[in-house]
Amino acid sequence: MPDASAQPTTDADRAIPGPLAGYTTLRTGGPAARIVAAGSADEIVRAVRTAAEPVLILAGGSNVVIGDAGFPGTVVLVRSRGVRVIAEDATSVTVRVDAGEPWDDLVATTVANGWSGLECLSGIPGSTGATPIQNVGAYGQEVAETITGVEVYDRIQGTRQVIPAADCGFAYRGSIFKYVDRWVVLSVDFRLTRSPLSGPVRYAELARALGVEVGDQVPLADARAAVLRLRAGKGMVLDANDPDTRSVGSFFTNPVLDRATYDHLVERATELGDPPAWPGADGLVKVSAAWLIDKAGFAKGHPGEGGVAISSKHTLALTNRSGTAHTSDLLALAATIRDQVHARFGVTLHPEPVLVNCTL
């Protein structure tokens, strides 16, 4: 496959003024002291090395909430592009993807080429470089299942290195990269299966949408199309004409509870029925945050102050519905939801996006 990287230009040519709201899917956030775009891994490293602290790395802006005061340092916009085959055999292909490559463009490319492994992650906004940080997952797939290595710039050592997947600390919506400023992701390697069929469908909702049983396989294009339809129905595919998509997607992670806490939750929710839950290792149970929010009294479309609201399509998404809301408005609504869920069920919800110069 040809290298799709953009033509390089110098950092100095691309110093960009303006508020950070325009670089996030939430469309909130104040100004930065300086914004610099970097179109290659070398430019990203150079920009980070030479910038005065603090430094914020920002790519697709789909999983970040930036405070109304903005950011008091340099924001490096990751704009590197490229998808390259670096290894292949009869059954698999390994691709190296630059950090700034739009994620859904990559998924579309893999489906078109008959490479299985990312199809259920269709429609997720943001950049490829953000996916290992969050261990992005949806509809039964996680990027941790296909990532073989992550190329990073180590800001402490001042070196570039590839961290093998086994050393990335992948966990549910987490990794060693999350909430840590040490590493800047430059590229990600994915090992994908050569197959016209998806992996076994693991997610019941997706299986129903496809008209198959859990565990069945379907053509890659069918899996992608079904996921895109499901996500669009929840306002989770970016659409300039849909105010529900001015969000960071799911604002809260599904809480993972030990057995005692889960049993206590079930007792407190007796009249509501058992919450949707998924058993995990070591007796842990993952519980639906959307169910907790809804049963705590926050329905789809629930309004907050200042033009924010819960999505009209999905209770996990908090939206800048008016397009003119402030980050403080959104966080106030999030805090109200979190506190009410805890008061009702004894479970604490935690935010999924990264909070920059703001707190919840």
pLDDT at 5 (0 to 100): 33
Q: Given the residues 173, 191, 224, 231, select the one marked as catalytic.
A: 173
CA distance 131 to 117: 14
pTM, two decimal places: 0.87
Arithmetic mean of pLDDT, 110-133 = 96
Q: In which band, very low, low, confident or very high, does the pLDDT at 231 lie, cut at 50, 70 and 90?
A: very high
pLDDT at 7 (0 to 100): 34
Q: What are phi and psi of 344, to 5 degrees?
A: -80, -40
Q: What are phi and psi of 329, to 5 degrees?
A: -65, -45
Q: Report how many helices (DSSP H) and strands (DSSP E) the chain contains, helices first.
A: 8, 18
pLDDT at 158 (0 to 100): 95
Instruction: Quote the distance between the C-alpha of residue 228 and its chain's center.
Output: 16
Q: What is the DSSP string of 91-124?
A: SEEEEEEETTSBHHHHHHHHHHTTEESSGGGTT-
Q: Given the residues 80, 175, 198, 250, select the one marked as catalytic.
A: 250
Q: Is residue 134 a contact partner of residue 127, using CB atoms and an 8 Å limit?
A: no
CA distance 216 to 206: 11
40 is a catalytic site residue: no
CB-based contacts of 225: which residues, under 8 Å, 6+ apart? Answer: none
Mean pLDDT value across the chain: 92
- SS3 category, 171: strand
Q: In which band, very low, low, confident or very high, does the pLDDT at 43 lie, cut at 50, 70 and 90?
A: very high
In this predicted structure, which of 3-7, 113-117, 327-331, 334-338 has the lowest mean pLDDT?
3-7
- Tracing tokens 């570039």 back to the chain, one arrives at 160
pLDDT at 6 (0 to 100): 34
Q: Does residue 256 surpass a pLDDT of 80?
A: yes
Tens digits of residue pLDDT in 259-275: 999 999 999 998 898 89
Tens digits of residue pLDDT in 146-159: 999 999 999 999 99
AA identity, residue 297 = G
Q: Does residue 110 surpass a pLDDT of 50?
A: yes
Identify the residue with better confidence: 283 or 189.
189
Identify the residue with better confidence: 309 or 235.
309
- Residue % of the chain over a pLDDT of 90: 85
352 is a catalytic site residue: yes
- SS3 category, 320: coil
Across the chain, the runs of DSSP E, i.e. the strands, are 32-38, 55-58, 64-66, 71-78, 83-88, 92-98, 115-116, 137-138, 141-142, 147-154, 159-164, 183-194, 256-257, 277-279, 285-287, 309-310, 318-319, 354-356
Tens digits of residue pLDDT in 26-40: 999 999 999 999 999
Q: Given the residues 101, 119, 151, 352, select the one marked as catalytic.
A: 352
Could you count the other beta carbons within 10 Å of the beta carbon of residue 204? Answer: 12
SS3 content of the chain, % helix, strand, coil (to 5): 30, 25, 40
Q: In which band, very low, low, confident or very high, does the pLDDT at 18 lie, cut at 50, 70 and 90?
A: low
DSSP classification of residue 11: G
250 is a catalytic site residue: yes
Long-range contacts, stretch 215-218, CB < 8 angstroms, 24+ apart:
none
